[in-house]
Every structure is written in C-alpha cells, then in structure tokens.
Structure 1
Amino acid sequence: MNRTVETPAPAGTSPAPARKKRRKVVVALVLVAALGGSGALAAMRPWEHHGTASPQPPVSHGTVAVQKGSLSTGIQVGGALSYNTPTPVIASGHGTITALPAVGAVVKAGAKLYEVDGRPVVLLTGDRPMWRDLGPDISDGPDVEQLKRNLIKLGHADGLGLTADQKFTPATVTAVKRWQKALGEKQTGTVTLGSVVMLPQAAVRVQQLGAQLGSALGSTAVMTVSGTDLVATVQPADNQLSQFKPNGRVTVKLADGSTIDGRIRSLVRGGSGDGGDNGSDGSGGADKTTVTIALDHQRQAKQAGPSSVTVTVVGETVSDALIVPVTALLALDGGGYGVQVVSGTTTRLVRIQLGLVADAKAQITGDVRAGAQVVIPK
C-alpha cells in the first residue's frame, strides 16, 4: 500500500523543484513467524513522513524499547525422556524360573540376571544369542569368540594367554572353570545352553517383567531390559527433519525447567527408535522418524526421571545485538527497512539494516541505540 504525504508550499513562493518533492514512504508491516513460517501484512501509518518530524502516533499504536542481547534461530519439538534400547530377554533351554530381579534393578555383565531351577542365568555381553553348549569338543565359531571376550574382560583368563579367537582351547576350559567357581557352580569347563544371556549392553536396567516365579520357560520374554542411560526421543514433522543432523547439538528442557545439552545419536524412520515403544505423541510413530538424543549429564537427567521434555535445535546465533519486534519493521519505497523512532513528542523514520530474524524478533543495525522507543501496532 502506498501513501504520499504532500505539504503545501507557503503563499508567495514558487513550487519546489522536482528533485525536492516529498518522497513517498511505503509503509509495510512484515511479520515473520518465530518457528517455521513467515508472512507479510501491509498497514498504513498516516503520521509517517520521511525525513521530517511528525506528531506522536495515535493511540492505536504503541511503543517498545530497543533491546540489546542474543538472538538465535531454531525449532522446538516435544518429546520424552526414557531409558534407551528396550530389549526383550528370551530364555533358552528348559526349566522353571526360580528367581527374578526387581523392576529398576541394574545388572552388570558377569552377574546373575535371573535363575532357572535354582541355577543362575548370567548376563554376558554379545551381539548374538547362544544356540548350543560351548565346551572342549565343539567346532570353531563366533559364539566361542564371544564367550572368550567375556572371560577375558571379567578377569577369568588372567595369566592363561587366552586370545579372543573362535577356538575352544584348553586355556578356555580353565577360564570357564574359574568363572564357574566364582559363581559357586560345578566346575565342568562347559557352558550349557540357557545358562547365559547374551546382550549388547555391558549393563542393563530391568524395565518390565514378562514372567512370574514358578513359570516354565517358553518362547515369551522373561523380561524387558533397557540400557542404563536416559535418552530424549522426539518425532519431528517431515518439514523439520532437515534441522536434525546426525551428531548435531541440541538443548533438552526437562520437566523441572532445567536444561541439558545433548547430541543427536540416531534417526530411525518408521519405528520408535531407541527410546521406547511409542512416539512422543502416543501414536506409535509408525510413519514418523524417531530422533534419539544422547544426553551430556546423566545424573541431572535421572533426577528428573522419565518424563516429557522439549528439545530445541539451535540454528544461527548472534550476541550483543540490537533487537526489535518484527512488527516494528517498515518496508521502505525503493527497498530496505526502517523503524519509526520516538524522539520527545515526535517520531522520525530511521533506515536500518536487517540481520537475523527469529522468534518474532529482528536484529537491526543503524542509527538506533539500545533503549530507544520504536513504534509498534497495539
């Protein structure tokens, strides 16, 4: 919308040359949405006059002080804080469950996870489950290598010269017997199927029990375990995914109002990712991408516990900047922007350079100082 403000020449004088004609001011109100969107709204301010003083704006408009501070772009997405990598534990072999851990218990590799027929089932670290007994007469295989890595790490192979290869050697038999002695079990030198549970984590947290004492072993999960670290998970909209970059840094706001920095660890399409069974909106996330965020400070996260969180992905940031609401910006005829600065009982139009725009605020530079009052619509 254009408006030309003409001032009549005093009596007895000739009209001013064309080069001195009053210049037009196009007054446009540009409103930029804070998060993921923009728009423009044109508005007329009848008191404006480029380069000259004019009366205070009418009561339909107000003023706001120019602020000095920091401004950053980014997006915010709601999510959840939960223990990562839920994993069902399926028991091998036959027997009756005679002991189970408490929900919330943390079990480390080498310790008893549960008990069958009065004998411990021990947690060991490995990517593949056991499928056979492991003893002196078996063929070579990656399951032997996996067992030997655990024996070495737990200290039962000290002084034996044991290497993590796929052969079940006499030194392996000795290491197994040492381990069985430490458990209070009969020292056979053979690890029977069902006596250990192989999971990728070096320690797990019992999240949920799926069996009861006295139950017979079957194909259902004895329990569900998770990692011992809390992670944040979010399911951003498709048009927000470009902001979530692998290993990118984010800020997580906890339910108690505190914040923790984090790192984007994974993006999984069409599933719940590492963090839990459901999406942050309870929909299950079948067609969404779940972003899992590793947190920098576990102690602080665990004080808050599993709960809702808000994840902020920070983009470009400026500091020590002059900041005004975007509603104070005026699009000038011929290009560029200005702001209407209040000076006593008058206002003056000041051309400015526009910088970063975020959160309905804009960074400006020009003949404006912090604390100055600028005109905005009420």
Structure 2
Amino acid sequence: MSRRARLAWVAGALVVLGAGGVAAVGLGGADPVPASAANLPPATAKVSATTLTRTERVTGTLTHGTATPVPVGAQGTVTWLPAPGAVIGRGQAVYEVDDRPVPLLFGATPAYRSLAPGATGGDVRQLEENLLALGYGGFTVDESYTAGTATAVRAWQQALGVPETGAVQATDVVVAGGEVRVAELKAQPGSRATGPVLTYTGTTRVVVVPLDVGKQHLVAEGVAATVGLPDGKSVQGTVASVGTVATSSPTQAGSTPTTTIDVVVSVADQGALGRLDSAPVDVLLVSERKEGVLTVPVGALVSLGEGKYGVQVVENGATRHVPVETGLFAAGQVEVAGEGIAEGVEVGVPR
C-alpha cells in the first residue's frame, strides 16, 4: 500500500474515534505524564505479535465448469440421448445414431482419423489404453495398430452391437479427459444428426469468479479462498486457474464497461457443497497476509499532526505518545512499528 493510500485509510479509520481520539498531541520523546483521572485512557490494549490477513469479498457462481459441445459425426437419425445431469464413464454411450452407440473414450487426443491395422501414433496408444481398461487384451500397448489390436476392437464392437470391422472411425467415438456430465441436450431423439447433439462438463463442481482486472493482483494459483454457500455454510477452496483473457460485460448506456478475467476456484470437499449443481456464491480471497507482525487495535491510533500517527503508551503509572509507522490494516487491527513498541507494551484506546 502506498504512503498516500495508507494515510487516507488511517484518516478514514480515525473518523470513528471522536474528537478526543484525533486531537493533536505532542510528539514522542517528551517526559512521561503521570497517569491521572484526567489523562488516563478509558481503555487499554496490549501490543500483540500475530498473523494479519486482509481479505477481499467477491461474487462467483458454483458450476461444473465450461460446457463442451459434442458434434454428431455419423450420418443418420438420433435414436437415443442421455438425460441432462447424467454422468458418462469410459466405454458408455454418449448418444446413439441409427441405434448404434457412440461410446466415450478417455484421452487428450481427439478422434480425428480412421484407425486400422498399420496405423501408428499416439492416438493408437490412446485407443489401446482404453481397450485394456475396458477388459480387452491380446496386444501390446504401444503406438502400432497390429492384428492383435484389430482382434480386440472386433470383440469390443461385438459387445457394443455395432459392425465388427476391426477398425475405428473418427465418428465412432467421443474422446474426453475423463468422466463427463451431460449439461444440455441440443437435439432430440428422432431428429437428423446435424450439429451438436449435447454439451458436457466435467463431473467436479468449481466456482467461477468474474474478477475485475483491477483486482487480479489478489489471486494466483494455489491461493486459499473461502466459498460462502447460499445456506450460510462455508467451504475451503483453492484458486486453480487465473484467466489470461479479459472480457467486457454489457452495460447500460452511459456507464463504464466492467472488464473481468475468469478465476476458477476448486473445492476438494465436494460433499460440503451439498446437492447444488449451480448457485451464486460469495468468495473470500486473501489479498494480503503478514506473519509475526506487531499490531494494535485501529482505535489505539492517535493523530500527531502533519499526517503522522502514534500510540499512547501506558507504562509505570505514566503515559507518553510514541510515533509509529503503520502497515497492514485488517479485522480492526493495524500493523505498527516504532521505537520501544514491542509485544506486551500497553497502549491506550481513546474510544
């Protein structure tokens, strides 16, 4: 925080102290004034060494993440679709065209070509890894599509109830990184197989925060966050990703557009989220954290004039004002440093 911003913060905080708390007093170094009913502060507090944390409250949305469309590759009629919210695992049908299931395979490489004996590449290894996970063997998991691979594919195709060709066309499968959750249906059974048939998301719920770009310094991957749920409960989360593309939201005429980046907060304890699939939530981000700093209540600060501040030290039946440098403000406490200021020193609280 800059000196100008800090002084403005302190000045605003001191407004609540009343005239007695902000009255100009002599600078530190003067002889101690014996404590009496006239000059004894109404309350005191001790300087403490603690961890000071400042948080920023923002709003977000509990969701399953960004939806991915599934285009129909095969020609024909859509004959079956899963229900919205359904979770689809490896080998299970994502949809059916002309009563032929199109199963889900796990992997990072999308299906983009036909695979048959003689084919080589990483997508061949990906197919073989899926076949093995589904219980089909008789081949070596490598980057070569062999006769053993084709035999396993025929057995798989027989179980699916599709023609046993021993080859896999790009339109025969859908590839995703893991289990998927059906987000929205884009077609209906009986419709022609054109365009996307559905969209899917991951199965893990996350919180997406459209964060003002002016606040992006508050977040980084791994930063802790607290998610406040609609039922009043809270759950701990962690910043999983910080977007690098800023977008401007629509505004009313004459108003300034809001430019944001998407921040994704992951929640390890999915059970703590209850049964909610989507909901508005509050998110507390830790904007600054300092460990082992000396702090006093904000109300202990007094004005020494010329934009400077101090505290009233109460010691051995006498009081004196000691100038201090202020640091982080959080939770009604302020970080202070000054000559003779140490843990356990008693200071006056004017209010």
The alignment of Structure 1 onto Structure 2 pairs a total of residues equal to 323
Structure 1 gaps of 5+ residues are 1-28, 273-277
Q: 2:193 aligned to 196, 199, 217, which one?
A: 217
Give yes or no for the alignment of 1:351 onto 2:322: yes
> Given residue 232 of structure 1, which amino acid in structure 2 is its aligned partner?
V
Q: Give the Å deviation of 1:301.
A: 2.4
Residue 16 (structure 1) aligns with: none
Q: 1:84 aligned to 61, 65, 79, which one?
A: 65
Q: 2:136 aligned to 141, 145, 156, which one?
A: 156
Residue 175 (structure 1) aligns with: 152
Give yes or no for the alignment of 1:316 onto 2:289: yes
Q: 2:178 aligned to 186, 202, 213, which one?
A: 202
Structure 2 contact 115–167 (Cα < 8 Å) conserved: yes
Residue 168 (structure 2) aligns with: 191
Report the Cα distance in structure 1 between the residues aligned to 2:277 and 2:329, rounded to whole angstroms.
Answer: 35
C-alpha offsets along residues 218-271 of structure 1, whole Å, 9 cap, x if unaligned?
Answer: 12x111100001111112222321221223333322223333332222222336
Structure 1 contact 339–375 (Cα < 8 Å) conserved: no
* Cα distance change, pair 47–94 in 1 and its aligned pair in 2 (3 A): closer
Report the Cα distance in structure 2 between the residues aligned to 1:104 and 1:303, rounded to whole angstroms.
Answer: 12
C-alpha offsets along residues 278-299 of structure 1, whole Å, 9 cap, x if unaligned?
Answer: 98x9xxx994211112222122
Report the Cα distance in structure 1 between the residues aligned to 2:275 and 2:45, rounded to whole angstroms.
Answer: 39
Residue 3 (structure 2) aligns with: none
1:31-110 to 2 correspondences below 5 Å: 32=9, 45=20, 51-52=32-33, 53=35, 66=45, 71-110=52-91
* Cα distance change, pair 310–84 in 1 and its aligned pair in 2 (3 A): same
CA RMSD in angstroms comes to: 4.0
Q: 2:206 aligned to 222, 225, 231, which one?
A: 231
Q: Give the Å deviation of 1:352.
A: 7.0
Report the Cα distance in structure 2 between the residues aligned to 1:38 and 1:153, rounded to whole angstroms.
Answer: 64
Residue 241 (structure 1) aligns with: 216
Report the Cα distance in structure 1 between the residues aligned to 2:198 and 2:241, rounded to whole angstroms.
Answer: 25
* Cα distance change, pair 362–287 in 1 and its aligned pair in 2 (3 A): closer
- For the residue of structure 2 that corresponds to 1:194, the secondary structure is helix
Structure 2 contact 24–303 (Cα < 8 Å) conserved: no
> Given residue 185 of structure 2, which amino acid in structure 1 is its aligned partner?
L
Q: Give the Å deviation of 1:99.
A: 0.9
Deviates more, 1:79-88 or 1:312-321: 312-321
Structure 2 gaps of 5+ residues are 1-5, 252-256
Structure number, greater radius of gyration: 1
Q: Give the Å deviation of 1:110.
A: 1.2
Report the Cα distance in structure 2 between the residues aligned to 1:296 and 1:238, rounded to whole angstroms.
Answer: 26
Give yes or no for the alignment of 1:257 onto 2:232: yes
Q: Give the Å deviation of 1:209.
A: 0.7
Structure 1 contact 177–188 (Cα < 8 Å) conserved: yes
> Given residue 109 of structure 1, which amino acid in structure 2 is its aligned partner?
R
Q: Percent identity?
A: 30
Deviates more, 1:178-187 or 1:104-113: 178-187
TM-score by length of 1: 0.70
> Given residue 254 of structure 1, which amino acid in structure 2 is its aligned partner?
L
Report the Cα distance in structure 1 between the residues aligned to 2:332 and 2:90, rounded to whole angstroms.
Answer: 52
> Given residue 112 of structure 1, which amino acid in structure 2 is its aligned partner?
A
Residue 113 (structure 1) aligns with: 94
- For the residue of structure 2 that corresponds to 1:296, the secondary structure is coil
Structure 2 contact 212–258 (Cα < 8 Å) conserved: no
Report the Cα distance in structure 2 between the residues aligned to 1:286 and 1:129, rounded to whole angstroms.
Answer: 36
* Cα distance change, pair 309–111 in 1 and its aligned pair in 2 (3 A): same
- For the residue of structure 1 that corresponds to 2:152, the secondary structure is helix
